[in-house]
Structure 1
Amino acid sequence: MLIFELAIILVATKLAGDLAVRLGQPSVLGKLLIGLLLGPSLLGLIENTEVLHELSQIGVILLMFIAGLETDVQEFKRSGKAGSLVGFGGIIAPLGIGYLCGYLLGLDTLPSIFLGLLLSATSVSITVQSLREMGRLNSREGTTLMSAAVIDDVVVVILLAFLLSFAGGDVNLPLLLGKKAAFFLISILVGWKVVPWLLQKITSLRVTEPVVTIGISLCFLFAWFAETTGVAAIIGAYIAGVSIGQSKQKQEVMHKTETIAYAFFVPVFFTSIGVMTDVQGIGNNWWLAVVLSIVAVLTKWVGSGLGAKLAGFSTRSSLAVGAGMVSRGEVALIIAAIGLEANLLDKSLFAVLVVVVLVTTVVTPPLLKLTFPKHEKKAP
């Protein structure tokens, strides 16, 4: 059954992506929507299995790894201040309005704060793909988005740890902060000093594809290390990509990883987002899904957009940066699952939030296409 499902996914995503482009939209939009069509909400041809989920995780990790390989490090450094303003702007607005929504829904204080915190999460994996298609990943807006995403991930996870400690969870805050600091210190040091040296040594091995094999292995190791220390795996994969991107083997690793990723794993990731969403599960709460989806889109768009404006971006560029932060993706789904386990969400609200995450993910590509400055020269 799995083999049949994979065959459907691979063919359907390519056809849907092509159709989206013909309609003037990024191909990723068609790939996302085809997952919803094939999943339990509509045709029911694809089941949300654990194997499919694991394959999709590899897809998003490789996607962020490729984004790291393409990152202009000097531009990334220059975007630090702007990334901070965008990141914090994209946390404060959703957190405050999300808390207010929880209060109006009759939730207690901690669940209301959790709702705001969940709406503050960001996953730029879909944004990355959209920007790659547009040739804008290395633009000032693109690098600012990547910087803001790292800040958003770290701050939201730390705030989540504080909240869980108040909710009765067994959270050692000093240990948690120490692990995160250790991850960034060790990963940056290893990426700077060890990775280029290791790749140079690997080139002498008399086996097939030694460089790309070690490159992907480093991607997975950095992702695992990030997840182990409480940072999102996609951040680890991105740092691995940035590290290898400074080596002489960059082009070889990127070219061959793209072939592996886009031929199989990335299509599975895009499809799985729609497959894991069962809109029938929200029942009579459809109105709540609509309201929270609007809140989720506007708070992140406006909050991050204002941060970009304060950083000196033009109005249009600020709207583009804000749009790039809208998608909640797999990061919000992980946080929602934690909230369900910690009794900060009930099952009905969890189902609603899964739909909200899907909506934010689907609207991001067309928002980016609509708002991104058209006068800027595309990256090669």
Structure 2
Amino acid sequence: MSDLAMVFAALAVLLGLARLFGSLAARLGQPAVVGEIACGLLAGLVFVPSVAVGGVLDAIAQFGLVLFLFCIGVRLGPSLTRRDAKAASLPAFGAAVVPFLLGAVLALWLAPRHAPAGTTAFVVFTAAAMAVTAFPVLARILAERGMLGEAAGHQALSAAALTDVAAWTALAVVAASLNDRAPVWPLVLVVPFVLVLHGLTRPWFERWLARQSRQTTLTVLVALASAGAAATDAIGLHAAFGAFLTGVAVGRSVRQAELSTVVTPLGSALAPLYFVLVGQKVDLGELDLRLLAETAAVIVVAVLGKCGGAYLGARLAGQSPPEAALFAALMNTRGVTELVFLSIGLGFGVIDSAFYTAMVAMALVTTAMTGPLLNRLRQPNEVH
């Protein structure tokens, strides 16, 4: 069988299995990404593609991820108002700083075993990864439970956006620190990239886009997502940065109806392939008693840091104990964003595969906790 036939066959099988496992996870009350990762774990035991086939599959998965994060940025952009950011700033500060600090302490203990690129980069990356809240998974959970229109849901989304911006900024610093072995000249691309993003936020772009046909608009959006991804990848950062930032920039100019026609469905259809491949990268063969103990420590620190910091920040902002507990449970969601974050760190060589396995386990456990915690913290008549 030719490589092209293998690519299409693998796409058919993996996308089908991803959908199946995602649906099974949803029936169990869990986000679909939990099932997709489980699918990747099982697929990795029986399917090992050739280098050529694996490269094509990875490129397709990356394209799906780029469109997915571009759409998340588009949806996030209009919600980043000054009033919302101000109201969520103190709770977000607690939800980011406390897990960051605890993550840094944990990373200092783990660095001798899991820091291939050096202790400093490992500590900053791990601390930032502990501070992440999965904005897309959180939005999906809130929508499923009818909480998007509630004050608690809106505050959690705004706080998640702020904490994720801080975490991605820290990741950008780590990436830049690793570029001392690469040519410096690509960094000059930051200037035109930022100028283009600034131009996309101007009223002229919204007026121009409104005059275009639907087909032209869709083409422009896919081209912008791809261009943003290419720009940050050329700079030396991950393509996900550019896609997300470009989406945020054009968020106020794009009609959601246009986005939901092709771009969002295509990204949603291909993104599960990315998370299946994430699951395949988890090496269960490295599990031993020491790694199991480290995984348990990672999960405990992640939960205590995020829930404790979010609860403390919400209480300092004047929320009642039940409201603060609900906010903490929502902010503990990691899911998609954490997995993307970890994949970037593994690709940069900041972490090794064993620590990657431990952090993926943490992301799945904390995401799986959200539903049961919400059921317990909300009144029975409030649960949709």
Report the TM-score range of the alignment, normalised by the length of the smaller protein: 0.7 to 0.9
**CA–CA distance in structure 2, aligned partners of residues 34 and 283 of structure 1:** 22
Q: CA deviation at 1:73?
A: 2.1
* Match in the other structure for 1:9: 14
**Residue among 6, 15, 23 paired with 1:18:** 23
| Match in the other structure for 1:188 | 198
Q: Does 1:261 align with 2:267?
A: yes
Q: Tell me by how many angstroms 1:252 deviates.
A: 1.7
Contact kept in structure 2, 1:68 and 1:245, CA below 8 Å:
yes
| Residue 220 of structure 1: aligned partner | 226
Look up the SS of the partner of 1:39 in the other structure.
Answer: helix
Residue aligned with 1:324, SS: coil
Question: Does the aligned pair in 1 maintain the 2:108–2:119 contact within 8 Å?
Answer: yes
2-side partners of 1:303 and 1:179: how far apart? 37
Residue 365 of structure 2 corresponds to 363
- 1:151 is matched by which residue type in structure 2? A
User: Does 2:343 match 1:338?
Assistant: no
Q: How does 1:1-380 map to 2 (within 5 A)?
A: 1-40=6-45, 43-44=46-47, 49-71=54-76, 73-74=78-79, 76-81=81-86, 84-85=89-90, 89=94, 92-104=97-109, 107=112, 111-122=118-129, 127-132=135-140, 134-135=142-143, 139-158=154-173, 161=176, 183-184=193-194, 186-203=196-213, 209-229=215-235, 233-247=239-253, 249-263=255-269, 265-282=270-287, 285-287=290-292, 288-312=294-318, 314-325=323-334, 328-340=338-350, 350-372=352-374
**Which structure dedicates a bigger proportion of its chain to helix?**
2
Structure 1 residue 106 displacement after superposition: 7.5
Write the deviation string for residues 224-253 of structure 1: whole angstroms up to 9, x where unpaired: 334445665434333433444433643122
SS of match in other structure, 2:252: coil
- Alignment partners' CA distance in 2, 1:272 and 1:120: 25
- Matched position secondary structure for 1:139: helix
Q: Secondary structure at the match of 2:112?
A: coil
Change (3 A) 1:245 1:352: same
Deviation of 1:223 (Å): 2.9
Structure-2 change in CA distance of 1:92 and 1:142 (3 Å) = closer
What secondary structure does 2:41 align onto? helix
Residues 91-126 of structure 1: CA deviation (Å, up to 9, x unaligned): 544454344345445839994443332222349695
The percent of aligned pairs where both chains have the same amino acid is 23
Question: Does the C-alpha gap of structure 1 residues 289 and 90 become closer, same or farther in structure 2, counting only changes over 3 Å?
Answer: same
- Rounded to whole Å, the distance in 1 between the matches of 2:307 and 2:49 is 32
Shift in Å at residue 212 of structure 1?
1.1
Deviation string 1:133-185 (CA, Å, 9 cap, x unpaired) is 541567221132123211221134326646x59xx76797xx97x87687556
The whole-number CA distance in structure 1 between the counterparts of 2:56 and 2:42 is 20
Separation of aligned partners in 1, 2:383 and 2:224 = 30
108-117 or 363-372: bigger deviation: 108-117
Give, in angstroms, the shift of residue 4 of structure 1.
1.9
2:40–2:277 CA contact under 8 A, matched in 1: yes
- Name the CA distance, whole Å, in 1 between partners of 2:80 and 2:316: 18
Deviations 1:236-290 (A, max 9, x none): 3334334444336431222322222223x12212212211212113456433333
- Contact kept, 8 Å, 2:125 with 2:170, in 1: the verdict is no
The alpha-carbon distance between structure 1 residues 5 and 130, as it changes in their structure 2 partners (threshold 3 A), is farther
Structure-2 change in CA distance of 1:161 and 1:187 (3 Å): same
Partner AA of 2:355 in structure 1: L
The 1:294–1:8 alpha-carbon spacing in structure 2 relative to 1, beyond 3 Å, is: farther
Q: Distance in 1 between matches of 2:60 and 2:303?
A: 28
Q: 1:200 to 1:124 in 2, by over 3 A?
A: farther
Q: Secondary structure at the match of 1:117?
A: helix
The amino acid that maps onto 1:79 is: D
| 1:36-60 deviations in Å (ceiling 9; x for gaps) | 12123xx446679222222222222
Q: 5+ unaligned residues in a row in structure 2: which ranges?
A: 1-5
The aligned amino acid for 2:198 is I
Query: What is the rounded CA distance, in whole Å, between the counterparts of 1:247 and 1:276 in structure 2?
Result: 38
User: Residues of 1 paired with 2:287 and 2:140: CA distance?
Assistant: 34
**1:28, 1:126 within 8 Å by CA — same for their partners in 2?**
no
Deviation for aligned residue 1:297:
4.4
In 2 relative to 1, CA 66–170 (structure 1 residues): closer, same or farther, beyond 3 Å?
A: closer
**Residues 268 and 144 of structure 1, relative CA distance in 2, 3 Å threshold:** same
RMSD over equivalenced CA pairs, Å: 4.0
Give the counterpart letter for 1:202 in structure 2: Q
Task: Give the residue type in structure 2 aligned to 1:324.
Answer: T
Supply the AA of the counterpart residue of 1:355: T
Q: CA deviation at 1:323?
A: 0.9
CA distance in 2, matches of 1:321, 1:171: 42
Which amino acid is 2:353 matched to? A
* Alpha-carbon offset, residue 62 of structure 1: 1.8
Is the CA contact (8 Å cut-off) linking 2:295 and 2:362 kept in structure 1? no
Structure 1 Cα separation of the partners of residues 198 and 382 of structure 2: 31
> Structure 1: which amino acid aligns with 2:139?
L
- Secondary structure class of the residue paired with 1:202: coil
